[in-house]
Amino acid sequence: MSNELENKLKAFGIGRFQVMALLQAARYYKIHKDLEKAKSFGLNRAIFYAWAKHYGPRKSKIPNNILKELEEIKKLDEIKQSEDLKDYKEVLGEYVKISPSGLFIFGGAEQSPSNYDHQVTMRIDRLINAEKAWQVALDYISKFPDWILKDASKFYKYVYEPIRDIFFMELLNKGTVEPKKDIIERIKSLEIMLEKAKKTQRTLMDFTQRK
């Protein structure tokens, strides 16, 4: 059954790209409650990560405009302060160019909601109701705390990566997608550690203030 579903997903052109776009869009919507920009952000990040995945070994094959933007983002991520930063906005822990209409740009192209629908929604809808998939993605995203969703690397590690190859398999088999138990346990452990760190910091501040 799993092989049959895998073949169907491949046949309909549904893979990691659609999972990334869908979850990034849901992530943005969960925080900002703007569907149009959420679709633009989701598609933008899916395109960005698709290029970034091949950035190292296939650098010579990347078009100059894409290569320039990847190098600019890498520079911003390393330096955090730059004159070039004026062309970017930090959104959910990631540097992204913004168009005059408020949508997101990568490689000189604006990613519009209609582009998202064409590359993500319409493909999903060939196999399963796209609105159902969107609601499941929102429900899945809501299981994670905002501090995970607002951090790009934590989102990738805890939210996207564990289910990138099985999201649609789970959706088609079970009608829902749940976070892995070990991931949730790890996040809870991190929250306990963070809370302890905050308490220790407050205690130290109280001590120094009393002195």
More confident residue, 86 or 176: 176
Instruction: Band the pLDDT of 165: cuts 50, 70, 90.
Output: very high
- Whole-model pTM over 0.85: no
For 127-140, the pLDDT digits (tens) are 999 999 999 999 99
- Are 30 and 159 in contact by the 8 Å Cβ rule? The answer is no
- Are 186 and 158 in contact by the 8 Å Cβ rule? The answer is yes
Mean pLDDT, the chain, integer: 85
Residue 194 maps to a domain:
no
What size, in residues, is the chain?
Answer: 211
Structure tokens at 189: 């452990």
Largest CA distance in the chain: 70
- Are 45 and 20 in contact by the 8 Å Cβ rule? The answer is yes
Instruction: Band the pLDDT of 202: cuts 50, 70, 90.
Output: low
Structural domain harbouring 151 = 2-179
- Residue 28 pLDDT: 98
Residue 211 maps to a domain:
no
Residue 25 maps to a domain:
yes
More confident residue, 86 or 45: 45
Cα 140 to Cα 149: distance, rounded to the nearest angstrom: 12
Closest CA to 141 of 42, 6, 44, 47: 42
Residue 121 maps to a domain:
yes
Cα 100 to Cα 159: distance, rounded to the nearest angstrom: 31
Structure tokens at 133: 């998939």
Instruction: Band the pLDDT of 6: cuts 50, 70, 90.
Output: confident
For 182-191, the pLDDT digits (tens) are 999 999 888 8
- Residue 4 pLDDT: 85
The mean pLDDT value for 95-103 works out to: 90
Max mean pLDDT among 185-189, 198-202, 205-209 falls in 185-189
- Are 144 and 187 in contact by the 8 Å Cβ rule? The answer is yes
Tally of structural domains, the chain: 1
Residue 205 maps to a domain:
no
Structure tokens at 27: 């992530």
Residue 133 maps to a domain:
yes
- Residue 63 pLDDT: 61
Structure tokens at 43: 């598609």
For 38-47, the pLDDT digits (tens) are 999 999 999 9
Residue 191 maps to a domain:
no
